[in-house]
Structure formats: C-alpha cells, structure tokens
Amino acid sequence: MSQVKHVAVLVGSLRKESINKKIALALAKLAPSSIKLEIVEIGDLPLYSEDIDVTPAPAQYTAFRNKIKAADAVLFVTPEYNRSVPAALKNALDVGSRPYGQSAWSGKPGAVVSASPGAIGGFGANHHLRQSLVFLNIPCMQQPEAYISNAGTIFEESGALTERTKGFLQSFIDAYADWVMLQTRTPK
C-alpha cells in the first residue's frame, strides 16, 4: 500500500472570503485518500529581501520553508491580478527558493488551478506562474488544465459547489493525485 502524500497548497488570494481559498478547501474534500492537502498560509511572509534573510532568518521564512520542504508535492490555487499572479504568491515563491542553492521547491510535483470572475479563468496568471515553476524545478502537471471562469457562480447559496464544477474539480484532483503518486514513487 502506498504512503499518503502530503500536498502543500498555496492560495494566491489573501482575502478572507476568497473564492480561490474556497476552491482549495473543496479540492481538499474531493481529494482521494492517496493525498492529503494542507493550505500553507503566505499572508504573513515579509517581502523577500536578502538584507533580512540572514542568520537567523525571519521566523516566518523558516516556518514556511520547513512546511514546503516537508511536503511531497505542491498545488497552487490563484486568481489573476493584471494578467499575472498576486504579489503575495510571487513573494512566497521567492522566499521558498532561497537561500540560493537550498530551494524548498526543487523536484516537488505541482499543478496550477486559476480562477477568475472573468471569461478566461485566470489563463494569464496560470501560465505566468508556470514560467516560474519551470525555473524552480517544479514539474507541473500538463493535463488536465484548470482555468475556472465566472468563478463567482461556481458555488450554490449553501456554499456547496455546483454539480458541474464539482465534477470538473473531482476529475482534476484525481488526475493530480495520480500525477503526484507517479512523480514521487521511489525506484526499486
């Protein structure tokens, strides 16, 4: 039997009632038993500066890096701000990639879900983020892609996902779980 893989989930939106955070929580509930998703908070990370990243590093940097290092995989759920990722998410990527040569990201299988109230579902943010993931050596799941358009309409008044969205997210998280298991299996 395979060991459960722990997935660090980074949500690009810091808003209390963030649609992206609701999507991340929904994905955690839909995830198969082979993976366990845990949201890693990024809102308290000071803006990355080499001037403050000295021994000892800020406690927030150290705690964040340790959570990413402990994870088997990473999942990004993000809105699109000005055709790119929110500043807090970019900052988290930078914090996790330092000090140079000690990146917490390297080799962890990843995937991106982007959600936007607009018609193109955060396509720009999704692909801009993928550019950074290449440099950070995060192998990113190619299919299925996840662009959620009209994100303000994917939850019922009760807070439950619409059936159509639930079906899509279920197929996405199942494929991601398979991707994680494939990428993290140990050679015999």
CATH number at 103 reads 3.40.50.360
d(CA 14, CA 125): 16
The predicted pLDDT at position 187 comes to 61
Domains contained in the chain, number: 1
In the chain, the percentage of residues whose pLDDT exceeds 90 is 90
Residue 151 belongs to domain spanning: 5-184
d(CA 19, CA 49): 30
Instruction: Taking residues 154-165, report their average pLDDT.
Output: 91
In the chain, the percentage of residues whose pLDDT exceeds 70 is 97
Confidence bin at 68 (pLDDT 50/70/90): very high
pLDDT at 1 over 70: no
Mapping DSSP to helix (H, G, I), strand (E, B) and coil, where does residue 22 land?
helix
The predicted pLDDT at position 2 comes to 61
d(CA 128, CA 83): 8
What is the average pLDDT value for the chain, to the nearest integer?
94
Contacts of residue 63, defined as CB under 8 A and 6 or more positions apart, other chains included, come to none
Instruction: Taking residues 118-125, report their average pLDDT.
Output: 91
Confidence bin at 188 (pLDDT 50/70/90): very low
Instruction: Taking residues 77-95, report their average pLDDT.
Output: 96
pLDDT at 173 over 90: yes
pTM score over 0.85: yes
SS3 content of the chain, % helix, strand, coil (to 5): 40, 15, 45
Strand order across the beta sheet in which 35-39 lies = 35-39, 5-11, 73-78, 110-115, 146-148
Q: How far is CA 93 from the centre of its chain?
A: 10
Instruction: Taking residues 142-152, report their average pLDDT.
Output: 94
